């Protein structure tokens, strides 16, 4: 079929209003499929080739995270963007760990949604081009430049440039969003293996039942469904680097199998006795303290010592505040370049709040904030009010948890919308894109009888 559409998007949401508004926004450029329940979503994905899924976290018949995993098991190819209410942002963050690409918050901003969808699909077409890694889910990195002038970061740059050349394993530890994957890629790029594959094993995103076949591959007929011989990540990565991302989530029996493959530099595909020899550099990451996990029996000490030949600890952003303005400028520049819009800057009030904020989500949180505020702000200066949409107005007050900040923002936003319609709850719930009863429960009033 000849078509000028840029892909097929499956919208899964139980609220008809939301489904229809997505359809309206997307139908000119994409084929749009709609599903109201988890069951319908599974059917739609089984029967169609889908490029991207917009998935509501809160569905009546199934938990959003469970559904995400089911959909990934049926077809791991479509990018998934979670659609969430402000209240469920923490769940959305977990969804990203499970392989979702991004999340958007209802009520959503059309430009922002379109931007995210474009990027997700761009990532997909990039993947298609990487023919030599056909089985591979490479992550799309818009910029590989590492920013940082803090002394500890400088020290880390120095260390990686000396150890990149060796074949020794490296363990990168640091909180979520501190740049573990970015550094792993940088090490690979600096190494003699730079023209060989860099393969990511996203331990947290791969269901335990699929881990062994993902790592080692399988022989045709090894189990029901093994219709053709498939290479595992280790085989694909031969001569290159394997990034064992979130290694702490790997289950203990797989830890033993992985350790054996690392030590012996060989393994067998499932269902085959042929020994496959490989030459791989391993870089692992963890945002948990592996020594603690060893203490509680959840991580093998021998695997730890195998991987921890060169340990790197990436400091959280709040511990290197002088990098905050540099990162803000860096991402402002990237957004301007990517969108083709003129460069913007933060007002002094906004910059001050951002400099004082604690950034629990580290550089990733900062990057997302810049992107969102760049998109919604009008004019050349991003104001504090543009940022406060993302709860940072409270930044000056330290010690506020993300959840408290998010809850606060929700209340504040609902109030603003209510004020704008003179307290008319029906109109407010329409603007907010939520059911009136949801609105009432959010402002602590019991749902009215219809």
Ligand X SMILES: Nc1ncnc2c1ncn2[C@@H]1O[C@H](COP(=O)(O)OP(=O)(O)OP(=O)(O)O)[C@@H](O)[C@H]1O
Residues forming the site for Mg ion (CB under 5 A): 181
Rg (CA), the chain: 23
Q: What SS3 state is found at 408?
A: helix
**Closest CB to ligand X among residues 6, 176:** 176
Minimal distance, residue 129 CB to Mg ion, in Å: 23
Q: Report what 32 binds from Mg ion, ligand X, none; CB cut-off 5-8 Å by kind.
A: none
Q: Report what 287 binds from Mg ion, ligand X, none; CB cut-off 5-8 Å by kind.
A: ligand X
Q: Is 99 a residue that touches ligand X (CB under 6 A)?
A: no
Return the structure tokens found at 409: 């923002």
Minimal distance, residue 101 CB to Mg ion, in Å: 13
Q: Is 182 a residue that touches ligand X (CB under 6 A)?
A: yes
Please select the residue that binds ligand X; options are 29, 37, 176, 438, rule is CB under 6 A: 176
Please select the residue that binds ligand X; options are 7, 38, 177, 232, rule is CB under 6 A: 177
- Helices and strands in the chain: count of H runs, count of E runs: 19, 16
Q: With 0-12 CB in 10 A as exposed, 13-18 as middle and 19+ as buried, what is 79?
A: buried
> What is the phi/psi pair of residue 245, to 5°?
-80, 135
Minimal distance, residue 6 CB to ligand X, in Å: 24
Distance of CA 139 to the CA centre of its chain: 9
Q: Report what 78 binds from Mg ion, ligand X, none; CB cut-off 5-8 Å by kind.
A: none
**Closest CB to ligand X among residues 183, 267:** 183
- Quick one: which H or E segment has residue 201? strand 198-202
Strands 230-231 and 217-218: antiparallel
**Closest CB to ligand X among residues 205, 434:** 205
Applying the rule CB under 6 A, the residues between 119 and 158 that interact with ligand X are 141, 146-148
Q: Is 214 a residue that touches ligand X (CB under 6 A)?
A: no
Return the structure tokens found at 185: 């890629």
In contact, 218 and 229? CB cutoff 8 Å: yes
> What is the phi/psi pair of residue 348, to 5°?
-65, -35
**Closest CB to ligand X among residues 134, 313:** 313
Q: Report what 182 binds from ligand X, Mg ion, none; CB cut-off 5-8 Å by kind.
A: ligand X
In contact, 270 and 221? CB cutoff 8 Å: no
**Closest CB to Mg ion among residues 26, 186:** 186
Applying the rule CB under 6 A, the residues between 323 and 382 that interact with ligand X are 363-364, 367
CA angle 239, 243, 249 (to 5 degrees): 140
Return the structure tokens found at 34: 């709609």
**Closest CB to ligand X among residues 74, 147:** 147
Distance of CA 385 to the CA centre of its chain: 26
- Among 147, 134, 3, 13, which residue's Cα sits nearest to residue 77? 134
Minimal distance, residue 205 CB to ligand X, in Å: 10
**Closest CB to ligand X among residues 36, 248:** 248
List interacting residues with ligand X (CB under 6 A): 141, 146-148, 174, 176-182, 287, 363-364, 367
């Amino acid at each position: 079929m000849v078509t000028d559409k840029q892909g097929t998007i499956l919208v899964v949401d139980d609220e008809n209003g939301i489904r229809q508004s997505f359809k309206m926004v997307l139908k000119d450029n994409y084929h749009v499929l709609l599903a109201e329940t988890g069951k319908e979503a599974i059917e739609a994905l089984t029967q169609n080739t889908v490029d991207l899924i917009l998935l509501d976290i809160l569905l009546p018949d199934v938990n959003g995270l469970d559904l995400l995993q089911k959909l990934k098991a049926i077809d791991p190819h479509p990018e998934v963007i979670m659609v969430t209410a402000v209240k469920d942002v923490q769940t959305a963050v977990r969804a990203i760990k499970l392989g979702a690409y991004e999340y958007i918050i209802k009520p959503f901003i059309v430009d922002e949604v379109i931007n995210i969808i474009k990027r997700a699909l761009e990532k997909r077409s990039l993947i298609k081009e990487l023919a030599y890694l056909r089985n591979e889910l490479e992550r799309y990195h818009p910029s590989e430049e590492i920013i940082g002038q803090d002394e500890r970061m400088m020290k880390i740059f120095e260390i990686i440039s000396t150890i990149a050349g060796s074949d020794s394993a490296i363990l990168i530890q640091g909180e979520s969003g501190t740049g573990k994957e970015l550094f792993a890629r940088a090490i690979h790029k600096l190494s003699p293996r730079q023209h060989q594959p860099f393969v990511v094993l996203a331990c947290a995103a791969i269901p335990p039942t699929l881990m062994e076949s993902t790592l080692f591959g399988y022989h045709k007929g090894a189990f029901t469904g093994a219709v053709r011989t498939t290479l595992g990540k280790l085989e694909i990565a031969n001569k290159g680097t394997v990034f064992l991302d979130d290694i702490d989530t790997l289950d203990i029996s797989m830890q033993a199998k992985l350790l054996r493959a690392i030590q012996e530099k060989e393994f067998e595909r499932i269902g085959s006795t042929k020994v496959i020899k490989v030459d791989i550099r391993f870089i692992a990451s963890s945002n948990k303290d592996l020594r603690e996990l060893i203490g509680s029996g959840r991580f093998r000490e021998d695997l730890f010592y195998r991987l921890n030949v060169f340990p790197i600890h990436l400091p959280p952003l709040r511990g290197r505040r002088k990098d905050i303005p540099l990162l803000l400028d860096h991402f402002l520049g990237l957004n301007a370049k990517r969108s083709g819009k003129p460069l913007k800057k933060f007002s002094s009030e906004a910059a001050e709040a951002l400099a004082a904020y604690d950034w629990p989500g580290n550089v990733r949180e900062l990057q997302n904030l810049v992107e969102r505020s760049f998109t919604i702000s009008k004019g050349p200066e991003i104001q504090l009010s543009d940022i406060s949409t993302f709860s940072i107005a409270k930044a000056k007050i330290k010690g506020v948890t993300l959840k408290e900040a998010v809850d606060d923002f929700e209340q504040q936003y609902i109030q603003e919308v209510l004020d704008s319609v003179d307290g008319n709850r029906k109109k407010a719930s329409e603007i907010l894109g939520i059911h009136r009863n949801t609105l009432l429960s959010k402002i602590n009033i019991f749902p009215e009888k219809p």
